[in-house]
Structure 1
Amino acid sequence: MAGAILGPVVPQIQTGVGVSESLAGLIITTHAAFIVLTSPVAGILVDRFGPRRPFIGGLLLYAVGGGTGLVIDDFIPLLVSRAVLGVGVAFVYTGITVLIYDLYEGQQMNRALGLRSGANSVGGAVWPLVGGGLGTVSWQLPFGVYLIALPLGLAAIATIPPTTRETGVPTTQNESSSDNSHTGSNGLAAIASGFQRQPALLLIYLLYFGTNAFLYAIVVYYPQLLETVGVTSSLWIGLYLTVNGIAGGVSGTLYDRLKSRVDARFLVLVAFILWTIAFGTAASVNSPIGLVIPVALFGFGVGLVFPSAFIWIEALAPKQLQGQFSSYLAMAGYIGQFVSPILFGVFVSPFGIRGVFIAAALFASVGMATLSLAVLTSLRRSSVKDQS
């Protein structure tokens, strides 16, 4: 919701506050910058006080920062409110993640993370339609939707129990031993130690960065691709992007069932295969109907990758630092969204708009090949270990 709900009304915001097009764009991007800047702080506070209170506080900031746009019609105060929204998102994002880690385990955690990913994808499809509809009445009215965070905050106060991080009482022997194994570490030294113990964490952040970069390549450049086949209506363009979100919602909802049958590495490998096919199809198909396929395939892959990344963070990060390591995942994702137009934009001038999707297909195929090699290597090691 944070950025998507205002996307359709940027031109009206520009007129309403009397600024240039580029300055109006800051209304969409400022919150993302503050998510990146404040996510580490959110992670530290979640680790120190538990996820419940930072999550609830984040919802309050979310409502204040987002909802004040209902009554603000001056550019600078509106920009400040978007910064407050970004801080709220950082706390909500990390708080949700660690709450799921603390309240669920095993198959239930897989399901919760899958549903979280599915909700994100469906929200990305629904909220632009809501924002566009409300924007036909007033450019300020879409800001009112952010106030939904207030009843959600009250529901969180009433229903979310304190977790072991908040009470300090471990519920299992494994939790206790995990915590004790790291009691000598703190601050930057503990973070550095975590990366040293589990260098694969960096690959997870790279995966999340790349997934979000691919996602925003679709968001930014797919409308231009659709124009080449005669699809110019904003309504129809929005429906194509809605297909992407719905597909991600479906795979996210099914994630725990898929995860119970195959390892997360295989699910991510399937995602890379789907993305390679999707981007290759986008680069070659010349019909409006054919261009539905790439967004559906890409969305389905996103619903497999996002929960897998969170599962790996939960498994690899030291328990008492999961807030901070989860916050870095949020940073990687939003940085990926920010640099995506720059990363893929360099291919437009020499190769045209389809060059963006040729490049994305090549990047996805490299990821597919790399992951295939890693999976085969791990299978070989497991086979050797079993034989010995």
Structure 2
Amino acid sequence: MSTARGLRGELDHDPDTTPAPRPAVLAVLLFCSTLTVMAGTLLVPVLGVMREDLAIDSTSAGLVLTAHGLSIAVVGPFAGRLMDRFGLRGPLVCGLLLYAVAGGAGLVTTSFTALLISRFLFGAGAAAVFTGTTVALLTLYRGSARDRIVGWRSTAISLGGIAWPLFGGALGALSWHSPFAVYLVGLPAGIAVLILLPRTPPSSRGTARAPGGTRALLRSPRLLRLYAVSLIGSLLLYVLAVFVPQRLAELGVERPLLVALYTMTTSLSGSVVGLCYAKARARLGYTVLLRTAAAAWALALLVAATAGQAVPLLAAPALFGAGMGISVPALTVLIGENAPPGSRARATSLAGSAAFTGQFLAPLLFGPLAAAASIRTAFLVAVALAATVPFVLTQRRLGNA
């Protein structure tokens, strides 16, 4: 069996057997899905101002942007385990409340250490939000409806990546603290989930628990390779997010609102591609989709490394966003559907762990490289990393583990 057929085999026969939930439920879940991308992108426009005010270097400033990723990576599997055992609604509501409180703490935080601690706590809430919204959509929809909904989810996330940085850029004109107020939207979102989300039975109810739990998931060759692609894509996205503002500064573009427009371009292209995802999925296998996404990432990073003016540099976030618009829904469905019975939330949470570990590692790995060599060199190394994705996908068949 070919790799593409191996990826398609289990999923193509999934029937549309589940009645669609109320539109209000879908709207709430799609909105909450945007909160995970808002976690970091909201602060991108004020990153330079924050760095100067707190007197920290670029690597430390990057950690403010990505510290929550480490918390998601660590807390995510525990959140997934709770959801597998007790259902989605309670853990998701608690996660939204913690998201709001810890995220909003940046309004009054004046030291780097306190800010970093609040970002770690914030990440614990974001872990439950990421896992809960993803699993809810995979649980409530089936078959072609699921392909359509995960495409819409990708579009919603991308549109959030447009709206939230614009809020951050506009509020950043007041102070670098002001954008943290937007995180308080988690409070009404939690109330809406509590009222509207139907009670979903624990995924472990009525099924045999997967032997070995999380360790068994990490021994699955197929899941491991999908997690690897998720980690690489997320790491490269944050390389772009951390270093494009610095590239723009080298080219004389430093105003927060203008920097936000570049971040918005990533999300705009991703939202357009997300709307087309269901049609692309009907024609192409998952392996082709993921290879296409990797090619878009590599080309985007190459543009970021070589563009000598601000206008051509705009192509970098646009291309990368298109790749994310393809990869996010494809990985979401593949990971959710290939989880063992009773382990969907844990499998999904590990995808979050992989993705947000990539976010956390981006400034740690590429910050020192950029400081020792140059930002362009960092981007060129990122191009080489993107080129490894087809190797990850084809080195071993991604059929049933």
Aligned-partner Cα distance in 2 for 1:271–1:151: 35
Q: Check if 1:31 corresponds to 2:68.
A: yes
| In the alignment, structure 1 residue 242 sits paired with structure 2 residue 277 | no
Q: Which residue matches 1:341? A: 363
Q: In the aligned structure 2, how far is the partner of 1:268 from the partner of 1:166?
A: 28
1:281-338 deviation line (CA, Å, top 9, x unaligned): 3333434332222221111001111111111111211131111121111111111112
Looking at both structures, which has the greater relative contact order when contacts are Cα pairs under 8 Å and sequence separation is at least 6? 2
Counterpart of 2:195 in structure 1 is 158
Residues 215-294 of structure 1: pairs in structure 2 closer than 5 A: 215-294=237-316
2:295 is paired with a residue whose SS is helix
Of 118, 133, 151 in structure 1, the residue corresponding to residue 155 of structure 2 is 118
The answer to whether structure 1 residue 200 and structure 2 residue 222 are counterparts is yes
Structure 1 stretch 39-48 or stretch 362-371: which is displaced more? 362-371
| Other-structure match for 1:320 | 342
**SS state at 1:320 partner:** coil
Contact 1:347 1:359 (8 Å CA) reproduced: no
1:171: which partner in 2? Answer: none
User: Are 1:5 and 1:130, in contact at CA under 8 Å, matched by a contact in 2?
Assistant: yes
Q: Point out the structure with max Rg over C-alpha.
A: 1
Q: 1:272 to 1:34 in 2, by over 3 A?
A: closer
3-state SS, counterpart of residue 161 of structure 1 = coil
Tell me: CA distance 1:76–1:306, structure 2 relative to 1, closer, same or farther (3 Å): same
Q: Distance in 1 between matches of 2:163 and 2:80?
A: 29
Query: Counterparts of 2:354 and 2:392 in 1: how far apart (Å)?
Result: 20
What per-residue deviation string (whole Å, max 9, x for no partner) do you get for residues 133-187 of structure 1? 223334443222122112212221222111132794xxxxxxx6xx2xx34x45x
Q: Secondary structure at the match of 1:282?
A: helix
| Counterpart for residue 64 of structure 1 | 101
Check whether the contact 1:102–1:164 (CA below 8 A) recurs between aligned residues. no
Distance 1:219 1:213 in 2: 10
Question: How far is 1:225 from its partner?
Answer: 3.2
Is the contact between residue 11 and residue 21 of structure 1 (CA under 8 Å) also seen in structure 2? no
State which of 68, 83, 104 in structure 1 corresponds to 2:141.
104
1:131 maps onto 2:153 in alignment: no
Cα distance in 1 for residues equivalent to 2:178 and 2:188: 18
Gaps spanning 5+ residues in structure 1: where? 169-175, 379-388
CA distance in 2, matches of 1:309, 1:54: 23
The amino acid that maps onto 1:259 is R
Partner of 1:386: none
- Per the TM alignment, residue 209 of structure 1 is displaced from its structure 2 partner at its CA by 0.6
Matched to 1:251, the amino acid is V
CA distance in 1, matches of 2:260, 2:353: 27
TM-score by length of 1: 0.81
Aligned residues, how many? 360
C-alpha offsets along residues 51-98 of structure 1, whole Å, 9 cap, x if unaligned? 121111111111222234445557666555433322111111111111
Match of 1:51 in 2: 88
How far apart are 1:10 and its partner, in Å?
A: 5.0
**CA spacing shift, 1:154–1:373, aligned 2, 3 Å:** same
What is the rounded CA distance, in whole Å, between the counterparts of 2:392 and 2:95 in structure 1?
38
CA distance in 1, matches of 2:386, 2:217: 28
Richer in helix (by share): 1
| Segment drifting more, 30-39 vs 333-342 | 30-39
Distance 1:106 1:87 in 2: 31
8 Å contact 1:63–1:150 — kept in the other structure? yes
The Cα shift of 1:268 comes to 0.9
> Which residue type is aligned with residue 142 of structure 2?
E
Aligned pair 1:305/2:342, yes or no? no
Structure 1 window deviating more from structure 2 (125-134 vs 344-353): it is 344-353
Relative distance call for 1:349 and 1:147 in structure 2 (3 A) is: closer
Percent sequence identity is: 36
1:21 matches 2:56: yes
In the superposition, relative to structure 1, how do residues 320 and 366 fare at CA in structure 2: closer, same or farther (>3 Å)?
same
1:373 Cα deviation after fit? 7.0
Ranges in structure 2 where 5+ consecutive residues have no aligned partner = 1-37
What do the CA deviations read for 1:238-257 (whole angstroms, capped 9, x no partner)? Answer: 32222112111221232222
Moved more, 294-303 or 203-212: 294-303
Whether the aligned pair in 2 keeps the contact of 1:27 and 1:82 (CA below 8 Å) is yes
Q: Is the 8 A contact 2:235 2:358 kept in 1?
A: yes
| Change in CA separation of 1:372 and 1:230 when aligned onto 2, cut-off 3 Å | farther
C-alpha RMSD of matched pairs (Å): 3.0
Displacement after TM superposition at 1:112 (Å): 2.3
SS of 1:290's equivalent? helix
- Secondary structure at the counterpart of residue 278 of structure 1: helix
In structure 2, the CA distance between the partners of 1:349 and 1:73, relative to structure 1 (3 Å rule), is closer
Tell me how far apart the structure 1 counterparts of residues 257 and 170 of structure 2 sit (CA, whole Å): 11
The answer for the alignment partner of 1:365 in structure 2 is: 387
- Deviation track 1:187-210 (CA, whole Å, cap 9, x = no partner) reads xx23333444x3111111110110
Partner residue, 1:40: 77
CA contact (8 A) 1:271 1:305 kept: yes
Q: Taking structure 1 as reference, are residues 151 and 294 closer, same or farther at Cα in structure 2, changes over 3 Å only?
A: same
